[in-house]
Amino acid sequence: MVKSAISVLFSILHDTTSYLPPGLFLALPTAFIEGGKHVSTFRAEFVGTLLMIACTFSAGKWIGKDSLEVAWTSHFFGVIAADYFGGGPHVNPAVTMSMLTLGKSSYTDAYVRVAAQMGGGLIAFPIYHALATNLEWEPLGGPEFSTDDDSAEIEAFLSESLATFCLCLLIYAVNWEWNFGKYHYIIKQGLTAVGIRGLIEFFPTAGPAMNPMLATSWDVFAVGNTFEFPSDMNHYFVYWVGPFLAAILASIVYVIYAGGTVFGAKLPIGPIKKTKRD
């Protein structure tokens, strides 16, 4: 009797987990760290990731397939919509790393955000693939890079790093340095959308991702059709190490310009930016 019950329970769990992305069970409980203090943050990042992938990856696939202008416009409004309805989440582990470096996120906050981003990414691609299949839409694509020669990883690493570095500088500028008055939110999100699209076109070597979560969650779902985390360390070198180092470097550059701290420490140089005097 007991063995039968355990066997049934095992069968249910096995069948359930076979349909769930790997790592999801580790990501979801993170929301309840410190007595659930970070649930709202987790929810914003999780939902924001789902929206971001739906609104931005659909450009050129579900919307504007035969028109570059329509695809760009769709991506433009997609970036704005995902941020607005998601509540302004980071939806990017590299951006979260930058906020941690600048002291704008605690370690726990950053950990919860990245876990939520990964959780959202891991279920987004399978869900949207099923939707596209049922509606006979073109399946979404994702970031990948060629390994045809020995220099491919280095080129992809540099491409992702430079793209992420530029993205971080753009984020600092439109959020903290420039003020567009009454229409600040719309304009700064619009500039972010244009900047992201431009970086995608200018740094194509690694896909690009400019977002470790996108690269890995896409790899889990589509690359090799194994539905498991990539075992090739080149993936993590290109899509995680590169963007994280770029985010830290961009943070250091910003602190030299505007002041602040890097991992809680003052830099011996800067700030260059002139502050208003009373």
pLDDT tens digits for range 95-113: 999 999 999 999 999 999 9
Number of domains in the chain: 1
Q: Are 264 and 249 in contact (CB under 8 A)?
A: no
Question: Residue 24 has what pLDDT?
Answer: 81
The residue segments making up the domain with residue 184 are 23-266
CATH code (residue 207): 1.20.1080.10
The answer to whether position 202 is within a domain reads: yes
Position 92 in a domain? yes
Whether 255 maps to a domain, the answer reads yes
Scanning 18-106, the segments in alpha helix (DSSP H) are 24-27, 33-36, 39-57, 68-86, 93-101
Q: For the chain, which residues score pLDDT lower than 70?
A: 1, 3, 8-20, 146-150, 223-226, 275-278
- Containing 130, the helix (H) or strand (E) segment is helix 107-135
The gap between the terminal CA atoms of the chain, to the nearest Å, is 80
Choose among 244, 232, 272: nearest CA to 256: 272
Residue 274 placed within a domain: no
pTM of the model: 0.89
Residue 250: Cβ-neighbour burial (10 angstroms; 0-12, 13-18, 19+) = buried
Question: Is residue 12 one of the residues assigned to a domain?
Answer: no
Q: Which helix (H) or strand (E) holds 252?
A: helix 242-258
* Residues 6 or more apart in contact with residue 89 via CB below 8 angstroms: 44, 45, 47, 48, 49, 83, 113, 117
pLDDT of residue 11: 60
Whether 68 maps to a domain, the answer reads yes
pLDDT of residue 12: 53
Q: Is residue 125 part of a domain?
A: yes
- 4: in domain: no
Would you state the pLDDT for residue 43? 95
pLDDT in tens, 127-185: 888 888 888 888 888 888 766 666 788 899 999 999 999 999 999 999 999 999 989 99
